């Protein structure tokens, strides 16, 4: 499975299963922390869900070295998930409070959801970065 295939699967999942009315895939913007989400979705009342797609273990391990992963308050997403091919990583390997989604044949299975029904999140998302990303998307739409 390719990274692009995971991004597409994650994008559809956000729109259909994660209470997001709008989602973006690989939207590159000049955020304060440099974070470039693979997929991020937004719903009402501050609801935001980040999906990081990983197709290999080295890619997954490298993600932990990023500044906004070491300091979670600098990251985007009130709810955060890794999306991998089935079995690539386990829930025990996740950073604190992250969820895990498995992709298999264009279908997502929730392997680990620490959030219940998307009611409470331990993350304080970086609203400045999220607003910057949304602003960038809206500017592109208008231009």
Total count of domains within the chain: 1
Beta bridge partners of 99: 81
The pair of three-digit structure tokens given for residue 22, joined into one six-digit string: 């709008």
Q: Write out the chain's pLDDT in tens, 143 residues.
A: 999 999 999 999 999 998 899 999 998 777 667 789 999 999 988 889 999 999 999 999 999 999 888 988 899 999 999 999 999 999 999 999 999 999 998 899 999 999 877 667 778 788 888 878 888 887 776 65
CATH classification at residue 103: 3.40.1350
Domain that holds residue 30: 3-142
This prediction has a pTM of 0.90
Spatial CB neighbours of 84, under 8 Å, sequence gap ≥ 6: 6, 53, 54, 55, 60, 100, 101, 102, 103
DSSP code per residue over 77-120: -SEEEEEEETTSS-GGGSPTT-EEEEEETTEEEEEE-TTTTTT-
């Amino acid at each position: 499975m390719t990274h692009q295939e995971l991004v597409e699967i994650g994008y559809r999942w956000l729109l259909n299963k994660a209470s997001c009315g709008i989602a973006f895939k690989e939207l590159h913007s000049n955020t304060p922390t440099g974070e470039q989400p693979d997929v991020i979705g937004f719903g009402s009342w501050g609801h935001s869900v980040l999906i990081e797609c990983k197709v290999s273990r080295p890619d997954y391990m490298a993600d932990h070295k990023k500044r906004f992963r070491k300091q979670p308050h600098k990251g985007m997403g009130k709810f955060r998930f890794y999306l991998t091919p089935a079995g690539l990583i386990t829930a025990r390997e996740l950073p604190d409070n992250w969820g895990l989604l498995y992709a298999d044949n264009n279908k997502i299975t929730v392997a680990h959801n620490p959030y219940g029904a998307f009611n409470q999140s331990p993350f304080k998302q970086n609203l400045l970065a999220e607003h910057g990303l949304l602003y960038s998307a809206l500017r592109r739409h208008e231009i």
